[in-house]
Amino acid sequence: MSDHPGAAEQERVAAQWQTEDQGPDRRFLAFSVLVLVSAVTAAALVSWWLPSPATPRVVVTGLLLALGFLLAEQLAINIDVRSGVSWSISFCEIPLVIGLFVAPFEVVLAAHLLAGVGTLLVRRVQDRILYNAGAMVFEITSAFAVAKWVNDALAGIGPAWAGVLAGALVAPLSSTLLALVCVRVLGRTMRLNAAVRLVLRTLVLGLVNASMGVVGYQVVVHAEAGWPLLVLALAGLSALYLAYSGLLREQRDLEALSEISLIVARSGHQAAAKPSLGRTEPNDLAEIADSDEWQTIADRIKDQLGAARVVLRLRFEPQLPLHTVVSGDDLPPDVRDVEATGSRADALLRLPGSHVRHFRRGDATPDIRHALLRRAADEVLIVPLRSASHLLGVVEAHDKLSRWRGFGQADHRLIGTMASHLATAMDNRRLLATLRHDAYHDPLTNLLNRPGFRRAAGEPLRKHPDSVVLRIDLDVLSTVSDALGYAWSDRMVVAAGRRLRDALGPDVALARLEGGQFAALLVDATTDEAHLIAERLRAELAAPYPVDRLTVEANSVVGYSTPRSGDGDQPESDVDALLQRADVALRAARSSGDTVKAYLPTMGQIFLRRFQLVTQFRHALETGQVKVHYQPKVALPSRQVLGVEALVRWRHPEFGRLDPDEFVPAVEAAGLVDALTGFVMDQALIRVRKWMDRGLRIAAAVNLSVRSLDDPNFPQRVAAALDRHGVPPELLTLELTESGVMADPQRALPVLRALHTLGVVLAVDDFGTGYSSLAYLRQLPVDEVKIDKSFVLGMGTDLGDLAVVRSIVELGHSLGLTVVAEGVEDDAARDQLAGMGCDVAQGYLISRPLSESRLEAWLQARTTQARGLRDEMVLTLLA
Ligand code: C2E
Ligand code: CA
Ligand code: CA
């Protein structure tokens, strides 16, 4: 008897001998021969020992029995008991029982061998034939020997069927024991527990089948109309078997399917918890491939199909190679990493289609047979994994773990449904990975975005307080996008991102935050190392970028911070806080003209203060914290007070007196400079108006911000202010710094012209600090140059400064400009300037900037009033 309780497990043992010992395994062959020889010897002995009753029609009986064995094998039912454990129930004990009753030993043996070996040959399981033939001989021999022995022992006492029953029971037991011996001989291990269970199961199902056979025979022989009765009973019983096993199998298959879908879904969640570093390649998908869930899935499919081996070949991304997972018997390396396309492609994998295909070595075309041979498989079930759009991979199942049967209809259905579940789950998984990738990556550079950086840097920063967060800002970007459009600036960003990635290597978390701003995390780095790396990154970014037939060079600035760079005792591990600090350092670097700067806690306070100033400025204007002071300007050498410069002052309730050099740039940067200029101009014009009312012609100078020159409505507002206060335009001077005007003279020109047309006096402030030539100034409608105070202050000790002052005075005059010197602190300077012919002096020598009331007092005390040429009142500084 071949298929009997526990056969599947036993078969698995047999299959392992066959497949793991690829090719002519001598040990298995020797063992098979030994089994066969000893079985045949035993059979000969038994044949000699047993009486040979002269049976009529031996050949017919033999053929009928062979047919019975064949039928019994074909009708075998698989009952799946537990994951991967199935009982193969055949009815081979029934023909055996009949044989034991009616036929001589040799006939039954021949019939069984005929049916068994024939089937094996048809199914091309050649390499197991010797062993299996031996096992069959053992089964029949032991059955007859035991039957005879029991009948002899019970002679006269027991019924005749007792021996038959015992014999039919011993047959499956003997082959099971033989299999266990085989396991031992081949040095494989099987737990005692499992072996005992196997034997017990063999006995139970053997008993059921054998007793059924005996009962059937008795009924046929002794009962009235026994045949139909037996057929009826058998039909009912098999129907029950079939229904029950079908039900069990369906349930098991469903469980397996949902389990597989669940594993795939769960693996997605686990991968989602693992942050990636924002490499350029879609590494979230690579992570899926790494996951060992696929092994579990392959194992599950293998168990469910009862296959010797299951191979999953998965393609997670079109550009990635096939990822192969094998469950069960090893797969030779050359078929493991086989290619699905191209000249080296495997015949099985090249097959088109979307449904399950079944190939057997026996009836395959030569190239398919070759593919099967490479896998050392007799038969293969193969099904592609297809999503809506593309091929995700292939599932292969090799060799059913059963001595007789190959894969059946139910297996086709199961592997097909599994494949479609798997494909759907993979598709969902891919979708999830894509969504996650998109959520955490910058689509332009494929680097991390801000949330991605937060996620990737969070844990490393907590674990490694000696890490550094870098912020890298590319400079020229806005210029490029203004001049050439966003496409080009985008290309520059992509190129810059690639350079940074190449310089930092694949394992550093790198993000593009926005525009030309990048961030990187250096884990376990000292600040010295970070500084060196930052310089290297700057050098990489500085190489020219080919942009639309021109090459653009980009400057960059780096600021960095570390968890320990705060002023608290605890290291700061919050990614946003560290990014913010690195940004503070970056801005500090930029304003001090540095290229790389580390964050210092004091920087944070400075920026915090600037932030406060900006937010409080409007309120300060409205509540009178902001005032205007005035510094007189006097003519040289006449000492006539020509005007005053209006200089803003802020007495802050918390910070005290604030320097305009501190808050004016902040107010400008915040876009609030219009409010400032408007306020100062109004105050200055009120003052001028008051002097006019007293018959005094004193001009006021107001400092402008470059930003005012961007505003085409600015001249209108100036005109409106002059109108409002009833001040003639020539009593208002507008001061613009040299660097401000010269940064983009073409842009400033229209507004300058409009102001000039109004009749206001235009002065270039801080002259000499920029790089413009006076000749260039001629093209601008300006009336006055103010020599920067640094030259005037240095004039007494530095011949260079003196030369600068002298040439500005001379050239200014040659261009018809009024020349003003500011920063006049002593008599010597004033006298020198007067000697050179400088027109106007302003400085501490004459007066510090004064509040309104103190200015009035100063005018009272320090000047004399006289009637001027045009009948106006003129103030002259006392000597
Ligand atoms: P500035 O326009 O060059 O103003 C002259 C600065 O030199 C003033 O500083 C003044 O107090 C200082 N100063 C005057 N005489 C002497 C001297 O003999 N020796 C020395 N060492 N310094 C002297 P202040 O008031 O601190 O203003 C600084 C800057 O703030 C100004 O430079 C100007 O650029 C800006 N500013 C002041 N008020 C305003 C304003 O209302 N609007 C705008 N946009 N900027 C302003
Ligand atoms: Ca000024
Ligand atoms: Ca100045």
Question: Among the atoms of ligand 1, which is closest to the Cα of residue 680?
Answer: 41
The owner of tokens 């005032």 is 627
Structure tokens at 569: 């005792």
* Integer Cα distance of 678 and 673 in angstroms: 8
Is 401 close to ligand 1, i.e. is its CB under 6 Å away?
no
Ligand 1 atom with least separation from CA of 629: 25
Name every residue whose Cβ is closer than 8 Å to that of residue 830 and which is 6 or more positions away in sequence: 636, 824, 841, 845
Give, as residue ranges, everything with CB less than 5 Å from ion ligand 2: 703, 735, 765
CB atoms within 10 A of CB 113: 17
Residue 282 has pLDDT above 50, yes or no: no
Return the minimum-mean-pLDDT range out of 9-18, 485-494, 580-589, 624-633: 9-18
Report whether pLDDT(285) > 60.
no
For the cut 80, the answer to whether the pLDDT of residue 748 exceeds it is yes
Distant-in-sequence, close-in-space partners of 874: CB < 8 Å, separation ≥ 6: 640, 697, 865, 866, 867, 868
The residue among 559, 658, 564, 566 whose CA lies nearest residue 604 is 566
**Lowest-pLDDT range of 258-262, 554-558, 838-842, 846-850:** 258-262
Q: What is the pLDDT of residues 660-713, one digit of tens each?
A: 988 998 898 888 999 999 999 999 999 999 999 999 999 999 999 988 888 899
Would you call 513 helix, strand, or coil by DSSP? strand
CA 303 to chain centre: 34
Is residue 659 in contact with ligand 1, taking CB distance under 6 Å? yes
**Is 826's C-beta closer than 6 angstroms to any atom of ligand 1?**
no
For residue 675, what are its two tokens?
Answer: 């409010």
User: In the predicted model, is pLDDT for residue 10 greater than 50?
Assistant: no
* Pocket lining: 664 vs ligand 1, CB cutoff 6 Å: yes
- What pTM did the predictor assign? 0.48
pLDDT at 90 over 70: no
**Average model confidence (pLDDT) across the chain:** 83
Mutual angle of helices 93-102 and 192-222, in 10-degree steps: 50
Distance 706 CA to ligand 3 centre (A): 14
Can you give the pLDDT at residue 284?
52
Q: How confident is the model at residue 50 (pLDDT cuts 50, 70, 90)?
A: confident
Q: How far is the CA of 647 from the centre of ligand 2 (A)?
A: 8
Which ligand is nearest the CA of 702, by number? 1
Q: How far is the CA of 818 from the centre of ligand 2 (A)?
A: 15
Percent of the chain with pLDDT over 90: 35
Pairing of strands 517-522, 656-658: unpaired
pLDDT at 613 over 80: yes
Which residue is closest in CA terms to ligand 1's atom 4? Answer: 647
Residue nearest to atom 17 of ligand 1 (CA): 823
pLDDT at 31 over 80: yes
Ligand 1 proximity of 680 Cβ (cutoff 6 Å): yes
Q: What is the DSSP pairing of strand 761-767 with strand 784-787?
A: parallel
Q: Residue 763: its pLDDT value, please? A: 95
pLDDT digits (tens, 9 = 90+) for 424-448: 877 877 787 788 888 999 999 999 9
Q: Is the CB of 823 under 6 A from ligand 1?
A: yes
In angstroms, the CA 457 to CA 561 distance is 13
Answer with the residue of higher pLDDT: 81 or 308: 308
**Identity at 441, one-letter amino acid code:** H
Query: Which ligand 1 atom is at minimum distance from the Cα of 786?
Result: 3
In tens, the pLDDT along 137-174 reads 999 999 999 998 998 888 778 787 888 999 998 988 88
Instruction: Compute the average pLDDT of residues 35-51.
Output: 88
The residue whose CA has the least distance to atom 15 of ligand 1 is 843
Q: What does the alpha-carbon distance between residue 140 and residue 159 come to, in Å, rounded to a whole number?
A: 21
pLDDT above 90 (res 367): no
734 lines ligand 1 (CB under 6 A): no
Ligand 1 centroid, distance to 647 Cα (angstroms) = 6
State residue 677 phi and psi, 5-degree precision. -60, -45
Looking at residue 287, what is its pLDDT?
57
Q: Nearest-5° angle of CA 801, CA 802, CA 805? A: 85
The beta-strand segments (E) located in 528-617 are: 545-547, 550-552, 556-561, 596-598
Place of tokens 């002059």: 722
Residue with tokens 């899926």: 288
- Asked whether the predicted pLDDT for residue 276 surpasses 60, the reply is no
Q: List residues bridging with 779 in a β-sheet.
A: none
Nearest to 131 by CA among 175, 100, 87: 175
Confidence of residue 825 (pLDDT cuts 50, 70, 90): very high
Compute the radius of gyration of the chain from its Cα atoms.
50
| Apex 696 CA angle, 692 and 702, nearest 5 | 70
Q: State whether the beta carbon of 766 lies less than 6 angstroms from ligand 1.
A: yes
Q: How many CB atoms lie within 10 A of CB 777?
A: 20
Residue 343 φ then ψ, to 5°: -70, -30
How many Å apart are CA 607 and CA 669, to the nearest integer?
Answer: 13
Neighbours of ion ligand 3 (CB under 5 A): 765-766
Which residue's CA lies nearest to atom 33 of ligand 1? 703
d(CA 472, CA 253): 56
Q: Which residues of 740-769 are buried (b: 16+ CB within 10 A; e: fewer)?
A: bbbeeeeebeebbebbbebebbbbbbbbbe
Quote the CA–CA distance of 491 and 506 in Å, as a whole number: 21
Residue 85 has pLDDT above 50, yes or no: no
Mean pLDDT of 586-605: 86
Of residues 554 and 108, more confidence is placed in: 108
Which region among 201-205, 307-311, 869-873 has the lowest average model confidence (pLDDT)?
Answer: 869-873
Nearest to 18 by CA among 376, 362, 359, 302: 376
Residue 290: the pLDDT is 59
Enumerate the β-bridge partners of residue 633.
643
Task: Determine the distance separating the centroid of ligand 1 and the alpha carbon of 583, expressed in angstroms.
Answer: 30
Using the predicted structure, report yes or no on whether residue 589 has a pLDDT greater than 80: yes
d(CA 326, CA 314): 11
Collapse the DSSP code of 773 into the 3-class scheme (helix H, G, I; strand E, B; otherwise coil) and give the result: coil
Q: Where are the alpha helices (DSSP H) in 354-513?
A: 366-374, 409-440, 450-463, 477-484, 486-504
Residue 816 CB neighbour total at 10 angstroms: 8
Q: Which two tokens stand for residue 330?
A: 């090893």
pLDDT greater than 80 at residue 88: no
Q: Which of 703, 792, 793, 845 to mutate to test the pocket of ligand 1 (most atoms within 8 A of CB)?
A: 703
Q: What confidence tens digit (pLDDT) does each residue in 488-513 have?
A: 888 889 999 999 999 999 989 999 99
Q: Which ligand 1 atom is nearest residue 668's CA?
A: 44
Angle subtended by helix axes 409-440 and 450-463, to nearest 10: 90
Residues 740 and 736: their CA atoms lie apart, in Å, by 7
Spatial separation of the C-alpha atoms in residues 489 and 494, rounded to whole Å: 9
Query: How far apart are the C-alpha atoms of 263 and 289, rounded to whole Å?
Result: 14
How far is it between the farthest Cα atoms of the chain? 165
Asked whether residue 32 carries a pLDDT value surpassing 90, the answer given is no
pLDDT of amino acid 279: 44
Distance 645 CA to ligand 2 centre (A): 7
Question: Alpha-carbon distance 633 to 845, whole Å?
Answer: 11
Task: Give residue 624's pLDDT.
Answer: 94
Q: How far is CA 170 from the centre of its chain?
A: 62
Residue 370 pLDDT grade (very low, low, confident, very high; cuts 50, 70, 90): confident
